[in-house]
Amino acid sequence: MVLQYRPAHEYPHVSIIRPLKGIDRDMQRTLESSFRQEYPASLEILFAVEDPHDPAIAVVNQLIARYPKISARILVGQDNVGINPKVNNMLKAFDQAQSDLLWICDSNVYTDPGTLRRSVDLMLDDRRIGVVHHVVFSESPDTLGAMLDNAFLVTNHCRMYLAINSFGVASCLMGKSNLYYKSALDSVGGLASFGQYLAEDNMIGQALWRAGWKHTMTGDLARQPTDIDSFAEYCRRRIRWVRVRKYNVTVATLYEPFTESIVLGLLTAWALHHLYALDIISSFSTFFSCWFALDMLFFYRINHGPPPSWIWFVVSWLCRESLALPLWIAAIFGNTVMWRGQKFRLHINGTVDVVK
């Protein structure tokens, strides 16, 4: 099927903001994906970095030299408007962006060349769409922690993220790759007002949702090379973000265990035993096997192919499923998190403060 695009002159200028901090895995490839967007109108790429000696600057300079026809520049420094270092870093790019269409894309995200055009098409089709976002898809795991994170992101997280957004019952937004109207963000307080939250992406999504701005998605993936080095790091990351969500979307977070295979399987097996006297072990085994098969099919369809190693993928999937409830329990009982070497205390309104 040949895709029918609108005339090139109908596409607006776009500003791409990519916050940087240190060297990410496969960084040249991920950042280069912004330069290689097949977009019919002009665009600018703003690289925001806090430290003038950050090694990421050298990578960006190489790309700027390689693509001289693309308007791209590096903005150094930060504005301390809150505790969120990503917001502090991006604010200078947000203020200097020349377009009302802003594509905020993390430095460790790769997107296909047609992603921007397809995203802008959706916003031009419906002017009430305030954000187009892309589901995160992990790739290239090479440690146990990375494999566990990969198993989480490409099955449970991806499945639930797509389901919630398909039904459109609430805002569900992850800030890896999002296209916004700058004017829409300004209408809900501007980027600086979200510097008081760790999960600024979720809070921005909720604010836009409450203001009547629609959310939508393309079929594109925000591909992220997995960067977790250890089992302990995986556990800390899962606990951190469940704990943050507990204060941002409390009801959904409390409901999470009932979307997991083991808890839901045990409840189903108990119900079938109570109602029809079926064997609990057999019922659970059948339920769990079907869940596994559907997750594998889901991954295959989203990835358009198999994982590099089915054996390791299955092992990491089983470990991930087994750890889901213990890590959720650990996250529920606590109100502090570690992020980028700093300890934060979470508050019931979603804000945080630094623990000194």
Positions marked active-site: 201
- Report residue 54: phi and psi, to 5°: -60, 130
Residue type, 286: T
First to last CA, the chain: 58
Which residues have C-beta within 8 Å of that of residue 195, sequence separation ≥ 6? Answer: 81, 82, 83, 84, 87, 88, 91
Q: Is 274 exposed, middle or buried (0-12, 13-18, 19+ CB in 10 A)?
A: exposed
Query: Which residue in this structure is represented by tokens 């190489």?
Result: 62
Instruction: Quote the strand ranges of 206-255, DSSP E.
Output: 214-225
CA distance 338 to 355: 10
Q: Encoding tokens for residue 88?
A: 């502090």
DSSP state at residue 152: I
